[in-house]
Amino acid sequence: MTEAIPLGILAVVLAWPVPVALARARWALRMPALAMLCWQAIAVAGGLSMIAALWYLSRGAAVLLALHLLLNLGLTTLGAMRQRRRHLQLVELLSTPMPDRPGTRLIENEAPVAYCLPGAPRSVTVLSDGLLRLLTEDELAAVVAHERAHVTQHHHIVLIAFKAWRTALPWFPIASRAEDAVALLVELLADDDARQVVSDDVLASAVTAVAGADAASVASRVARLTA
């Protein structure tokens, strides 16, 4: 019974003050990989300490919580995979493969969009011709490198895990903050990967060109690249 107290304290600390501090930390922008590692560690340790603290109070409740978390992870993953498959069917129907860029498809649409659809056996990067009109050749290479980085670093798996954490614990405001922070971090990590291929200026201008009027949402990304 007394073991439950330190475990409970640990669970509370990991559920509230630690994530709040990490979400505010300025160094996270400079070291996104370390920040990402911290978020994952907090999520895993937080979940385990919660389950362990409950274990000493009521075994049934601990097992229920563990099942709840696992079930949510499974359901979220299945749902995302199903949606991805359906979306890929639409993409295949409406787009043409770009001959000079393997794994890349072009949709006829005036909205400038670029995104990647992670999946097995192969991931697809989708570009619109509105985007091609908007960007220079170099900027386009930056966008493609950025999207590739998402896939090679398996960002979709991290995002799904944090999304599952959020749906499993909706009463924890911190879970949504974690998901937002992680969503920004994967963009920064992908930017860092793209920076190895293209210059910072080119990547920054590509980000601002695509963001258009809504530049505020990408301010932290552009600030990093132009600093």
CB of 99 to another protein, least distance (A): 18
Over the window 85 to 114, marking each residue x when it contacts another protein by CB under 8 A and - when it does not, the resulting string is --x-xxx-xx------------xxxxxxxx
**83 is a site residue for another protein (CB under 8 A):** yes
> Hunting for tokens 């794994």 — which residue is that?
103
Among positions 28, 181, 210, 225, the unique one binding another protein when judged by CB under 8 A: 210
CB of 209 to another protein, least distance (A): 9
**189 is a site residue for another protein (CB under 8 A):** no
Subset of 150-179 contacting another protein (CB under 8 A)? 150, 155-156, 159-160, 163
**218 is a site residue for another protein (CB under 8 A):** yes
Residue 54 or 218: the one with the smaller Cβ distance to another protein is: 218
Q: What angle do CA 220, 26, 155 make, to 5 degrees?
A: 65
164: buried, middle or exposed (CB in 10 Å: 19+, 13-18, 0-12)?
buried
Dist. CA 155–CA 165, nearest whole Å: 15
Residue 5 or 33: the one with the smaller Cβ distance to another protein is: 33
* C-beta neighbour count of 100 within 10 angstroms: 5
Residue 58 or 96: the one with the smaller Cβ distance to another protein is: 96
Residue 22 or 206: the one with the smaller Cβ distance to another protein is: 206
Dist. CA 134–CA 126, nearest whole Å: 15
Dist. CA 82–CA 137, nearest whole Å: 34
3-state secondary structure of 3: coil
DSSP H helices in the chain = 4-15, 17-24, 27-30, 32-57, 59-94, 129-134, 137-152, 155-168, 173-195, 200-211, 219-226
Residues engaged in binding another protein (CB under 8 A): 76, 79-80, 83-84, 87, 89-91, 93-94, 107-118, 126, 143, 146-147, 150, 155-156, 159-160, 163, 183, 186-187, 190, 206-207, 210-214, 217-218
